[in-house]
C-alpha cells in the first residue's frame, strides 16, 4: 500500500498537468464546430490509457463521436471492472459569468476551475490515474476496462447501439460510473441513485 501512496504522491504534479491538458480541449459535443476537438479529446484519452499501462486503447467509431475503449486483462479468471466516463463537456456559455477562461484551468481556493473539471474529465481522470498507479506498482488486483464516450451531454444517442454491438468486449462484473460527485472533499462517496432525463 505504501508503494501505491508513494506513487500517487510522487506523480501528483504530473497528474495535474496531464489533467490540465485534457481540460484545455474544448470538447463541446452540442456544437458541431467542435468536431475536431472531440477527436482530440478522444485521442488524449486513448494516449492517457496507453501511458497508464492499458494493453490496448483505441477510438471506436459510432454514428456520432467515437467511444474510447481501453483494457488491461491481467487474468481472465479474475473479476473485471468497467469504468465509464465521458470526454465531452457542456457549452461554457454564458462566458461573462466565468472568473477565468473556461478552457484554461485555474486553481482558486484549492479547487480547479475549468469546464469539465468536475463533469466529467476530473472524475474520469481520477480513475485513470488510480489505474496507472496500480499498474505501475504491480498492485492491480483485477481486470479493468474503460469506456469513455463523447456524447453524454447531448443524451448519449450512440451509446446504446455501441453497447449492443460490443456486448462481449464490454462484459464485466462491476461497472464504475465516473460521473457523480462526493458529499465533501474528504468524504469518499458511492452514489447509488441518479435522476435521469425524461422527455414527455
Ligand atoms: Zn457527466
Which residue in the block uniquely carries the three cell numbers 485513470?
Answer: 128
Answer whether residue 192 is part of any domain.
no
pLDDT (0 to 100) of residue 194:
78
What is the Cα Rg of the chain in Å? 17
Distance of CA 87 from the midpoint of ligand 1 (Å): 9
Residues with Cβ within 5 Å of ion ligand 1?
119-120, 179
pLDDT (0 to 100) of residue 190:
85
pTM: 0.94
**Which three three-digit cell numbers place residue 130?**
488510480
Distance of CA 89 from the midpoint of ligand 1 (Å): 8
Answer whether residue 94 is part of any domain.
yes
Distance of CA 119 from the midpoint of ligand 1 (Å): 5
**Which three three-digit cell numbers place residue 176?**
464504475
Taking the CA of residue 144 as centre, how many other CA atoms within 13 Å lie in the half-sphere pointing to its CB?
A: 23
Please list the alpha-helical segments (H only) found in the chain: 2-10, 12-23, 35-52, 121-136, 159-165, 167-170
Answer whether residue 100 is part of any domain.
yes
Answer whether residue 149 is part of any domain.
yes
Helices 2-10 and 12-23: crossing angle, nearest 10°? 50
Distance of CA 157 from the midpoint of ligand 1 (Å): 14
Answer whether residue 69 is part of any domain.
yes
DSSP 153: G
Structurally, how many domains does the chain consist of? 1
Please list the alpha-helical segments (H only) found in 54-196: 121-136, 159-165, 167-170
Q: Domain limits at 156? A: 2-177
pLDDT (0 to 100) of residue 182:
85
Distance of CA 6 from the midpoint of ligand 1 (Å): 30
Answer whether residue 196 is part of any domain.
no
Answer whether residue 48 is part of any domain.
yes
Q: Return per-residue pLDDT of the chain as tens, 200 residues.
A: 899 999 999 999 999 999 999 999 999 999 999 999 999 999 999 999 999 999 999 999 999 999 999 999 999 999 999 999 999 999 999 999 999 999 999 999 999 999 999 999 999 999 999 999 999 999 999 999 999 999 999 999 999 999 999 999 999 999 999 998 888 888 988 888 877 777 76
Identify the CATH number of the domain in which residue 145 sits. 3.40.630.10
Q: Cα–Cα distance between 69 and 148 in angstroms, integer?
A: 7
Amino acid at each position: 500500500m505504501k508503494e501505491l501512496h508513494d506513487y500517487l504522491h510522487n506523480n501528483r504534479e504530473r497528474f495535474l498537468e496531464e489533467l490540465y491538458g485534457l481540460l484545455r480541449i474544448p470538447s463541446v459535443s452540442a456544437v458541431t464546430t467542435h468536431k475536431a476537438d472531440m477527436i482530440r479529446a478522444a485521442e488524449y484519452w486513448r494516449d492517457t490509457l496507453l501511458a497508464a499501462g492499458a494493453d490496448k486503447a483505441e477510438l471506436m467509431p459510432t454514428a456520432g463521436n467515437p467511444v474510447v475503449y481501453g483494457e488491461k486483462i491481467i487474468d481472465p479468471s479474475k473479476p473485471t471492472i468497467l469504468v465509464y466516463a465521458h470526454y465531452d463537456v457542456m457549452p461554457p456559455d454564458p462566458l461573462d459569468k466565468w472568473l477565468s477562461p473556461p478552457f484554461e484551468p485555474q486553481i482558486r481556493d484549492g479547487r480547479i476551475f475549468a469546464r469539465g473539471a468536475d463533469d466529467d474529465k476530473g472524475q474520469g481522470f481520477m480513475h485513470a490515474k488510480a489505474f496507472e498507479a496500480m499498474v505501475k506498482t504491480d498492485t492491480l488486483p483485477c481486470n479493468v476496462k474503460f469506456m469513455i464516450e463523447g456524447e453524454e451531454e447531448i443524451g448519449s444517442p450512440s451509446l446504446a447501439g455501441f453497447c449492443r454491438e460490443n456486448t462481449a468486449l464490454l462484459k464485466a462484473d462491476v461497472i464504475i460510473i465516473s460521473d457523480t460527485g462526493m458529499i465533501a472533499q474528504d468524504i469518499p462517496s458511492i452514489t447509488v441513485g441518479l435522476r435521469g432525463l425524461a422527455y414527455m
